[in-house]
Amino acid sequence: MHHFEALRGVAIVGFCLAASLIFIASPKAYCNPVVSSQQGLVQEISGDTGSPALLQKAEAGDKKAQYRLAIAYQEGRGVEKNYFEAAKWYRRSADQGFAAAQSALGFYYRHGLGLPRDAIEAVHWYRVAAEQDWPSAENNLGVAYTDGIGVARDYRLAFEWFSRAAKHGVSTAYHGLGTLYLTGNGTRQDYAKAVEMFAKAAEGRVGIAEAELACLYVAGKGVPRNYDEAVKWFRRSVEDGDAAGATGLGYAYASGQGVKRDYRQAAAWFLKAAEDGETLAQYNLGLLYERGLGVGLDYVEAYKWHAVAAARGRGESREALKALAQVMTPAQLERGRDRVTAWEKTHTGVEETSVAEVMSALGNDGLAK
């Protein structure tokens, strides 16, 4: 597990849309003290297990041993994986002022791992660790200030914390700086600097940064427009496990930019990203089903994907649901709602906002209220 946060959904809106069909955009990454080389911790913990000797040291109050034991429980090294035990030992170490444990504890609060989810408490622990110049905490404070989670949104402070983390070579911090240069939040808007920062993040294989770099090549912002280069970076983003890259490849195949137009390939890539919770891909997949492009014309399946995307706040899908309700029969609408419910049951955790929320906003006629 990595405790490095990364930004998502704040940067590249609209850039790829200028080129063609249906891509609208998406950039997130939180950061992990365990993988930081600061204080030599990587080397020291790489072979750690929850051994009796380590437990004895931890119980005796050795803050470093407590931190190492927390990692053992977190990763299941020599003990059964247990986030509650990991959180307990992170706290004991953090209470003694150990920066790595403080940052990890913040991450646990932020994501509700072994502790109640509490963004304010997360920011507290990030801050005390950042005051000790701990890179992951600095990065994660940058994310918190950008998103306004646990603190009031403040792009200037986000830029400051990302800059501090970037000095330690934190890849996700470069990505954060890139998003701020791209949007002009907290600093001047500078597409060339955004490209530079995303490229540095890409060196650390930050998938969302690779996808955003690809979008800048599509849009010709900060770099000459180059669809082949865009496809290259979308593919690498997919290799690095980011659904935004799959969304980008869907866009490329739908638009025929950098590859031969192929709606079947577009649908396949949108589906991959949609199953991972990418609302833009869900929306685009819904459009393909509406139009019968690369897939069979299927209003019921289109309804499902638009409802799923609308549940996560994509306004275009809410509008699409209204339009679909005008052409679907009552039986089709019922099947659409059944498919949404079935998808929700098999994708718990994919999204923070329940699909049921959008269903409750739909009347008996299927129209969004």
In this structure, the answer to whether residues 145 and 258 fall within a common structural domain is yes
Compute the distance between CA of residue 244 and CA of residue 280 in angstroms, rounded to an integer.
9
Q: Select from 273, 308, 334 the last residue of a domain.
A: 273
d(CA 255, CA 249): 10
Q: What is the pTM of this model?
A: 0.82
- Tokens 């009347």 appear where? 363
d(C-alpha 79, C-alpha 7), whole Å: 33
Q: Are residues 175 and 256 in the same domain?
A: yes
Asked if 75 and 137 sit in the same domain, the reply is: yes
Q: DSSP alpha helices (H): ranges in 49-167?
A: 52-59, 63-75, 83-95, 99-111, 119-130, 135-147, 155-166
Contacts for 239-244: CB closer than 8 Å, 24+ residues apart: 239/207, 240/205, 240/206, 240/207, 240/210, 241/207, 242/207, 242/208, 242/210, 242/211, 243/272, 243/273, 243/276, 243/277, 243/278, 243/281, 244/26, 244/27, 244/207, 244/208, 244/211, 244/212, 244/273, 244/278
- Per residue of the chain (369 residues), give pLDDT as tens: 667 676 654 333 334 533 333 333 333 444 444 433 333 333 334 446 668 899 999 999 999 999 999 999 999 988 999 999 999 999 999 999 999 999 999 999 999 999 999 999 999 999 999 999 999 999 999 999 999 999 999 999 999 999 999 999 999 999 999 999 999 999 999 999 999 999 999 999 999 999 999 999 999 999 999 999 999 999 999 999 999 999 999 999 999 999 999 999 999 999 999 999 999 999 999 999 999 999 999 999 999 999 999 998 898 999 999 999 999 999 999 999 999 999 988 886 544 444 444 444 444 344 333
Return the CATH number at 233: 1.25.40.10
Q: How far apart are CA 139 and CA 144, in angstroms?
A: 9
Q: Give the tokens for residue 249.
A: 């490849």
Q: What's the total number of domains in the chain?
A: 2
Residue where a domain terminates, one of 230, 253, 273: 273
**297 and 332 co-located in one domain:** yes
Residue 47 backbone class (left: φ over 0; alpha: ψ -120 to 50; beta: rest): alpha
Locus of tokens 């500078």: 190
Same domain for 279 and 150 = no
Identify the CA nearest to 144 among candidates 113, 173, 178. Answer: 173
One domain, residues 169 and 63: yes
Q: Which domain holds residue 312?
A: 274-369
| Three-state secondary structure call for residue 31 | strand
- What residue has token string 């504890």? 105
325/369 same-domain check: yes
State whether 267 and 344 are in the same domain.
no
Query: Do residues 325 and 214 share a domain?
Result: no
Task: Please indicate, yes or no, whether residues 114 and 221 belong to a single structural domain of this protein.
Answer: yes
Please identify, among 239, 273, 307, the residue that sits at the C-terminal boundary of a domain: 273
Residue 29's H or E segment, with its range, is: strand 29-31
Indicate whether 118 and 86 sit together in one domain. yes
Indicate whether 137 and 279 sit together in one domain.
no
